[in-house]
Amino acid sequence: MTTAAIIVAAGRGTRAGGGIPKQWQILGGRPVAAYAMARFAAHPAISELILVLHPDDMETDLWPREPKAKIVAGGATRAASVTAGLEAVSDSIETVLIHDAARPLVSNAVIDRVLAALETTIGAAPALPVTDTLWQGNKDAVQGIQDRNGLYRAQTPQGFQLAPLLAAHAASTGLETDDVAVARAAGLDVAIVAGDEDNIKITTAQDFDRAAKLMGHNMDIRCGNGYDVHRFGDGDHVWLCGIQIPHTRSLQGHSDADVGMHAVTDAIYGALGKGDIGQHFPPSDPQWKGAASHIFLEHAIALAKSEGFVISNADCTLVCEFPKIGPHQDAMKAVMAAYMGVESARISVKATTSEKLGFTGREEGIAAIATVTLVKQ
Ligand code: MG
């Protein structure tokens, strides 16, 4: 069975607020639609992914770029958009899963249940039995009780054999609200498979909060610390957190001796459980002599990315009497944030003296301590 997934993202729904369609609003750092796209793109049974956009969105940068996805312009109605997606499916495809871009929490288990049902049926879709009591009523009062027996809440992805669904869409009125309705209008049977309470459809601002909470439960968060010291020697400047500061002496080291950047870099390696700067860039290797420390930081960031992590925040404290750090704090944050690809507000650089105690107090060197948090995307 060869299967294509069609993500329908052509709606204009803005009930969730934010001024742009809900599927493009940011949830946990990415557009809502990115989650379902990534889920279907990574599913081993799905060989083709099609994203149906509203024609007005085609030229925008609102939608997430997924290298595997074929991009198609939708139509005036939901049914017309699905038809456009179905027409873009390759000839080799036998079954299609049609999914709402506003359901970011679809699980492989739900997808697998629909696929399993399609082995023996023309159509299958996930749903949950209604458990709440259903009332009929006007705005003010309950006027009756609706029997909930046999009622279900429909979800997506809705799966079908491709040929019968294409025929059903060709005969459709265009007014149906989902593909099960299109299929049923054409006389096709649709099996119900178990849905998932977490497979929510984002409609309101409250749904965003609920989705964020559900995602938070599955988050992989790593924290790492770094500590570094460099001694003072002859010179007229120091490098601290990527900024060159005039000073009466310089920090000594194999590289540019940027003690702050080294502490942050080691914190990233620490969060990943991947050693430290000395292991990745041995001081015995002459090629790193005088090296700019951003090389080390960029290596650690690339390593984090390759393991699927993004930097959530970094906090670095420099311990010294002089030079004064305050005037350079904003520039240091901006430089470090640029290397990390995050906004400055996620980076902290602060300083303290050691009350003239110890080696930092005697101005023999500068120490730095850093904490970094990584979040798996
Ligand atoms: Mg160092």
Residue 260 Cα to ligand 1 midpoint, Å, equals 8
pLDDT for 102 equals: 95
Residue 269 Cα to ligand 1 midpoint, Å, equals 14
Residue corresponding to tokens 């599913």:
43
Least-confidence region, from 18-22, 23-27, 305-309, 322-326: 18-22
CA gap 376, 72 in Å, rounded: 30
Residue 293 Cα to ligand 1 midpoint, Å, equals 9
Tell me the two tokens of residue 303: 């390593």
Residue 370 Cα to ligand 1 midpoint, Å, equals 12
CA gap 65, 63 in Å, rounded: 6
CA gap 14, 25 in Å, rounded: 9
Of 100, 133, 113, whose CA–CA distance to 192 is shortest? 113
Residue 17, pLDDT above cutoff 70: no
Tell me the two tokens of residue 163: 């040929």
276 residue type, one letter: D
- Residue 346: DSSP 8-state: G
Residue 215 Cα to ligand 1 midpoint, Å, equals 37
Residue 365 Cα to ligand 1 midpoint, Å, equals 12
Residue 23, pLDDT above cutoff 60: yes
Residue 186 Cα to ligand 1 midpoint, Å, equals 70
End-to-end Cα spacing for the chain: 30
Residue 217, pLDDT above cutoff 60: no
pLDDT for 16 equals: 61
Reported as a pLDDT band with limits 50, 70 and 90, residue 219 is confident
Residue 171, exposed/middle/buried by CB under 10 A (0-12, 13-18, 19+)? exposed
**Contact (CB, 8 A) for 304 and 311:** yes
Reported as a pLDDT band with limits 50, 70 and 90, residue 202 is very high
Q: What is the mean pLDDT of residues 328-332?
A: 97
**Contact (CB, 8 A) for 132 and 53:** no
Residue 252 Cα to ligand 1 midpoint, Å, equals 9
Reported as a pLDDT band with limits 50, 70 and 90, residue 174 is confident
Q: What is the mean pLDDT of residues 8-20?
A: 77
Residue corresponding to tokens 């679809």:
106
Residue 259 Cα to ligand 1 midpoint, Å, equals 5
Q: What is the mean pLDDT of residues 325-347?
A: 95
Residue 14, pLDDT above cutoff 80: no
Residue 319 Cα to ligand 1 midpoint, Å, equals 14
Specify the 3-state DSSP secondary structure of 231: strand
Global confidence as pTM: 0.60
Residue 54, pLDDT above cutoff 60: yes
**Contact (CB, 8 A) for 32 and 104:** yes
**Contact (CB, 8 A) for 74 and 80:** yes
Residue 321, pLDDT above cutoff 80: yes
Residue 257 Cα to ligand 1 midpoint, Å, equals 6
CA gap 126, 178 in Å, rounded: 13
Residue 257, exposed/middle/buried by CB under 10 A (0-12, 13-18, 19+)? buried
- Residue 104: DSSP 8-state: T
Residue 77 Cα to ligand 1 midpoint, Å, equals 60
CA gap 285, 291 in Å, rounded: 11
Average pLDDT, the chain: 93
298 residue type, one letter: E
**Contact (CB, 8 A) for 157 and 114:** yes
Q: What is the mean pLDDT of residues 132-152?
A: 93
The two most distant CA atoms of the chain are separated, in Å, by 88
Residue 229 Cα to ligand 1 midpoint, Å, equals 6
Residue 266 Cα to ligand 1 midpoint, Å, equals 9
Residue 189 Cα to ligand 1 midpoint, Å, equals 68
**Contact (CB, 8 A) for 108 and 43:** yes
Residue 304 Cα to ligand 1 midpoint, Å, equals 20
Least-confidence region, from 41-45, 117-121, 214-218, 307-311: 214-218
83 residue type, one letter: T
Contacts of 64 (CB under 8 A, 6+ apart): 30, 31, 33, 34, 37
What percent of the chain is predicted at pLDDT more than 90? 76
Residue 249 Cα to ligand 1 midpoint, Å, equals 17
Residue 227 Cα to ligand 1 midpoint, Å, equals 9
Residue 362, pLDDT above cutoff 90: yes
Residue 218, pLDDT above cutoff 70: no
pLDDT for 63 equals: 87
Tell me the two tokens of residue 335: 């430089």
3-state per-residue secondary structure call for 273-293? CCCCHHHHCCCCCHHHCCCCC
Residue 249, pLDDT above cutoff 70: yes
- Conformational region of residue 184, where left means phi above 0, alpha means psi within -120 to 50, and beta covers everything else: alpha
**Contact (CB, 8 A) for 314 and 372:** yes
Of 218, 216, 247, whose CA–CA distance to 230 is shortest? 247
Tell me the two tokens of residue 64: 């997430």
Residue 48 Cα to ligand 1 midpoint, Å, equals 48
Residue 253 Cα to ligand 1 midpoint, Å, equals 7
Residue 325 Cα to ligand 1 midpoint, Å, equals 18
Q: Name 125's bridge partners.
A: 192
pLDDT for 283 equals: 86
Neighbours of ion ligand 1 (CB under 5 A): 228, 262
CA gap 8, 22 in Å, rounded: 12
Residue 274 Cα to ligand 1 midpoint, Å, equals 17
Half-sphere exposure of 122 (CA within 13 A, CB side): 16
Residue 239 Cα to ligand 1 midpoint, Å, equals 11
Residue 222 Cα to ligand 1 midpoint, Å, equals 22
